Amino acid sequence: MSSQQGASGGGGGARGGGGGGGGGGGGGGGGRGGGKRRRRGGRGRGRGDGGGGGGGGGGPGNGAPGHSNNNNYNYNPAAAGLPLGPGAGAGVGAPSNSTMPPMPPAQAAGGGGGGGSGGRDGGAKVNNPNSRTSTTTMSQMTESKFAQLPLSAPTQRAIAEVLGYATLTKVQNDSIPPALAGHDVLAKAKTGTGKTLSFLFPAIEGVARTPRAQRKGIWVLIISPTRELAQQIADEANQVLTFHDMSLICVVGGTNIKADIRGFRDRPDIVVATPGRLNDHLDNNGLAKDMAGLSHLIFDEADQLLEMGFRPAIEAILRYMPHSRDRQTLLFSATMPGDVRKIAQLALKERYEFVDCVGEEESTHQHVPQQYTVCGQDQQVEELCQLLRENMAADPRGHKIIVFFTTARLTQFYAELCNLMGFPVLEIHSRKSQGHRNKVSELFRNGQGLVMFTSDVSARGMDYPDVSAVIQVGLPSDKAQYIHRLGRTARAGKAGHGVLLLCDFESMFLSDVRDLPMQRRDPLPKASVAQITPAVSEAYDKMARLSVVCAYQAWLGFYNGHLRRIGWSKADLVAQANYWITTICRQQEVPGIQAKTLGKMGLRGVPGIF
């Protein structure tokens, strides 16, 4: 029996009657891990995750997929009021401890749930990691063949045997040849179009052409805006390096800096890094001397690097690098605002190749279906629950939903709340460990039937294929942020839509996006809200006190930065925050905040703050 396919469950009884029969299949095989660093002369392998548990017997209903508990995520479709089906372990009509009203029963009988594969969700449809799963990538394919490129034998072997690719995408076809010829390249290309290999192949070939005795220090430096994207680049690079005698290290914030230092002592050829951690090593740990012979400098997602405020860090990094005439620089960006052009002038040679794979094509935000709902703050969670239920029920096995929140702490807060209500929610944000973020990112990228709650930073530059819906909860910082989030869905002609959920005091944002094709989605009627509220209240009562305290401070901090937009005074801010935490979140008292934090927010002495 396949490790991801459970045994068939027995037939269910009449609707509302008996549960499903047979049990699920065996657990899946252990996952293949990957260390942070790849050593020379062999493929790096880490300890694999254990196999997942078998799925439960199916009952009538074709609903939410079965889930393994191998990832310790609290998946409970029954408690969320979702229809039960393959892998759920009960028939429709089985008892539920949730007070949420059930959704209409599905029609077809469900089979037994699949066993979980190692480290993955048993009910998710996991794609072959070596295939080009991104629909965006598939839409960009050309007729040009990798075999026709002047690449070394180890690289060609990795393309054929490890990556399994034959043809180039447009950005690869346009940028790899000039880069292999030694030219600097400024490329405009979207996430998911194959751009990572567009800079990896020229850089790796540059190292391969240089005898090891002549390589002094670090040869290639790749700079990424986020930890997740850096790890994604490192993983893809390690695949290309399978048959090469080279080494790579990935250094990002949130990991043990001493481990980085030990890795640098082994003289890696390639470094993938985020700006903050890289500058730390350059300034404090003697890394600057190892950059003296750098041959290739690469910036990925340059527009996001600058949007996230990394321009000073980039300028500081450039001061440590060899002069532009003594290195090759490749800069990739989805957009070309003025700031990116300025960095290009600083980093690139005067003569460089410009590759435009975006052009004037219609942008996602001009054609993707978009809705907005404005509701009272006391109804926001109920509206979110309804949105989740609708989008999950629309495609029980294939849904792939991203929900954005305003801050990392509020992402954490709502993920905990929804998990307590039984919704199958993954969470990824800066407050989670890097290991957790990598695991969740990989699961969501390769799976289906998933919902991910996230903050903005963790989602930048990531290519998550086949996202069916993007839900944005709360006030976007600006129109650009709204559009960037929305761009996660409806890629390459695939179906998808976006929903913006605003509280009434955030409605002024609609004037910023009045030129977009957005349709009003009416708030839930009071009777429908009343059906969901008991489950919400019960979940609030179970929330960890620390989560609530952190969310309160994050709420204050976020809206404190938008007082002018909203039209609030400091006193209005505190009053609204206290209403939210006591009346809506059902806390008996307002949490205290450290005097230092209050000082930074300018809230000392404001009535109602403690």
Q: Can you give the pLDDT at residue 129?
A: 40
Contact 179, 198 (CB under 8 A): yes
| pLDDT tier, 313 (very low <50, low <70, confident <90, very high otherwise) | very high
| pLDDT tier, 7 (very low <50, low <70, confident <90, very high otherwise) | very low
Asked whether the domain spanning 364-520 has the same topology as the one spanning 141-356, the reply is: yes
Going by C-beta distance under 8 Å and a sequence separation of 6 or more, which residues neighbour residue 133? 127, 445, 446, 465
**33 vs 525: which has the higher pLDDT:** 525
pLDDT digits (tens, 9 = 90+) for 330-354: 999 988 888 898 999 999 999 999 9
Q: Can you give the pLDDT at residue 166?
A: 94
Compute the mean pLDDT over every residue in the chain, rounded to the nearest whole number. Answer: 80
Q: Any idea where the domains of the chain sit in the sequence?
A: 1-36+46-123, 141-356, 364-520, 544-601
Question: Which two structure tokens, joined as six digits, stand for 106?
Answer: 């599905």
* Residue % of the chain over a pLDDT of 90: 61
Contact 148, 177 (CB under 8 A): no
The DSSP 8-state label assigned to residue 350 in this structure reads S
**342 vs 124: which has the higher pLDDT:** 342
| pLDDT tier, 40 (very low <50, low <70, confident <90, very high otherwise) | very low
Q: What is the 3-state secondary structure (H, E, C) of 523-541?
A: CCCHHHHHHHHHHHHHHHH
Q: Can you give the pLDDT at residue 60?
A: 35
Give the pLDDT mean for 497-523. Answer: 96
User: What fold is seen in the domain 364-520?
Assistant: Rossmann fold (3.40.50)
| pLDDT tier, 367 (very low <50, low <70, confident <90, very high otherwise) | confident
Q: Can you give the pLDDT at residue 134?
A: 53
Provide the β-strand partners of residue 471. 403, 499
pLDDT digits (tens, 9 = 90+) for 53-102: 434 433 333 333 333 333 333 334 444 443 333 333 333 333 333 444 44
The CATH code that applies to domain 141-356 is 3.40.50.300
Q: Can you give the pLDDT at residue 334?
A: 86
- Distance, CA of 331 to CA of 340 (rounded, Å): 9
pLDDT digits (tens, 9 = 90+) for 414-458: 999 999 999 989 999 988 887 888 899 889 989 999 999 999 765
Say whether pLDDT at 4 is over 70: no
* Helices and strands (H, E) in the chain, number of each type: 21, 16
pLDDT digits (tens, 9 = 90+) for 210-253: 888 888 899 999 999 999 899 999 999 999 999 999 999 999 99
225 phi, psi to nearest 5 deg: -75, -30
